[in-house]
Amino acid sequence: MISPEFDLVIAVLLGAGFGFVLEQAGFSSTRKLVGLFYGYDFTVLKVFFTAGVTAMTGILVLGHLGALDTSAIYVNPTFLWSALIGGLIMGVGFILGGFCPGTSLCAAAVGRIDAMLFIGGALVGILGFTEFYEQLRPLYMAEAMGNITMASVLGIPAPVFGLLLAIVAIAAFIGTSWIQSNVRSEPFTLNPVHRKYYVLAGLTPILLLLLVWITPSHQQQILNHVEANYTAENPGKHRMVTDHLAYELMNHAHDYNIIHVHDSDALPDTLRSGVPGATYVHYRELLQPHYIPLLRSRYKNLIFVADDPELARKGATMALRIGAEHASWLNVGVSEFRQSIFEVPDPRQLTSKAERDRERFRVMAARTLLEIEDRLKHMAQPIKREPVEPSGGC
């Protein structure tokens, strides 16, 4: 997404924001951290859950509005046994040491000697894992379930799981505040001035997630609109006929982005079956943020082609709707286009001069298109998008 050098600057800045907030929240104090497990201080739980719910809500809302490409969000993969056993070992480490890696770094940065010892221990523990990796690998790799989300495991929409998480978090905040006031023998009340802010803060994520759940997403709205209005909005002005497309390909191929829209989940057999140089995009994914630069390119005009010309027309309508300056669509299916160009008819059937001229043009076009195909042979593979993988681990 970003250049490698700048990447490291971003890494430092995000780390700095992370460290600053952790320290401000009190995570440099080991007794404050462990208070969670003995009921005298639930700061960790409050900070942790608030942060998780805030970021989760943000991701879902931004994705809903079409501002964030949720398919490029890294969902850490699930390996059930190592996640469970690793987590339990970490839990024991938490109680014995009173830190986790992030908080130990945070406490060491403000001079806590115990945190420095914890880091020393953690480095040795990591070394233990890396040295015995060969023996541990069967456990490490067992029960691989892929990059699955909680929502897909439970079979519910993501915002519904988000709502559940937010409600559990708020219930936990109230419950732990009650426990904390009992353990500390303090009254369980909130300052009435603050109370309304707390209520407001609690309701905000719930309302946002409800909206994400019940309203159609930005993409869905555009899809619905195009589906309902594409014939009216794109009455044929931007239609392109076979010979016109062939002519443009022969003479101005570099002025165009050709987009082959399809609506099947199987990847099309690209080479020798499409328009040379076309980018293959699933119709529904056309609105993913990573295709926006392609659709809004200022230097290239768009031509939409498809196996079904109506789909190409919808694609062009959609591109115009989201800000493309010029988008044409091929008025025949791609296979018909190829047939017209590549199949030579019986010369005896070409009666008029116009027909014979057209056929001469098509023979030339076929030759040029084959040359372009040969040049593109190694580039024409569709690119399969993968979520961004971090360079490993936590």
Partner 1 sequence: MSTPKPYMNPYFAGFLLGCVLLGAFYISGRGLGASGGMRALVVAGVETVAPAHAESAPFYVEQRAANPESPLRGWLFFHMLGLLAGAFLSGVVGNRVDFKLERGPNITVRSRMIFVVLGGLLFGFGSQLGRGCTSGSALSGMASLSFGGIITMLAIFGGAYIMAYFFRKLWL
Report the residue number, 70 or 368, with the smaller CB distance to partner 1.
70
Q: How far is the CB of 375 from partner 1 (least distance, A)?
A: 31
Map residue 281 onto helix, strand or coil: strand
Place of tokens 């199949």: 343
Q: How far is the CB of 338 from partner 1 (least distance, A)?
A: 38
Question: Whole-angstrom Cα distance, residue 237 to residue 234?
Answer: 7
Question: Whole-angstrom Cα distance, residue 223 to residue 246?
Answer: 30
Beta partners for residue 259, in sequence order? 279, 304
Report the residue number, 210 or 364, with the smaller CB distance to partner 1.
210
Question: Whole-angstrom Cα distance, residue 358 to residue 370?
Answer: 18
Map residue 315 onto helix, strand or coil: helix
Place of tokens 């419950």: 175
Q: How far is the CB of 287 from partner 1 (least distance, A)?
A: 18
Report the residue number, 112 or 362, with the smaller CB distance to partner 1.
112
Q: Which two tokens stand for residue 75?
A: 């969902």
Q: Is 1 in the site for partner 1 (CB under 8 A)?
A: yes
Angle at which helices 101-109 and 30-38 cross, to 10°? 140
Q: Is 100 in the site for partner 1 (CB under 8 A)?
A: yes
Pairing of strands 144-146, 78-79: antiparallel
Choose the stretch contacting partner 1; rule: CB under 8 A; options: 125-133, 216-224, 347-355, 376-384.
Answer: 125-133
- The only residue of 47, 167, 294, 364 in contact with partner 1, by rule CB under 8 A: 47
- The only residue of 3, 64, 65, 95 in contact with partner 1, by rule CB under 8 A: 95
Q: Is 122 in the site for partner 1 (CB under 8 A)?
A: yes
Q: Is 210 in the site for partner 1 (CB under 8 A)?
A: no
Q: Which two tokens stand for residue 355?
A: 């027909």
What DSSP state is assigned to residue 287? G
Q: Which two tokens stand for residue 71?
A: 């398919």
Residues 171-200 that bind partner 1 (CB under 8 A): 173, 198
- The only residue of 64, 65, 66, 80 in contact with partner 1, by rule CB under 8 A: 80
Q: How far is the CB of 367 from partner 1 (least distance, A)?
A: 44
- The only residue of 65, 149, 182, 385 in contact with partner 1, by rule CB under 8 A: 149
Query: How many amino acids of this chain bind partner 1 (CB under 8 A)?
Result: 133
Q: Is 130 in the site for partner 1 (CB under 8 A)?
A: yes
Q: Is 213 in the site for partner 1 (CB under 8 A)?
A: no
Map residue 326 onto helix, strand or coil: coil
Q: Is 150 in the site for partner 1 (CB under 8 A)?
A: yes
Question: Whole-angstrom Cα distance, residue 135 to residue 85?
Answer: 15
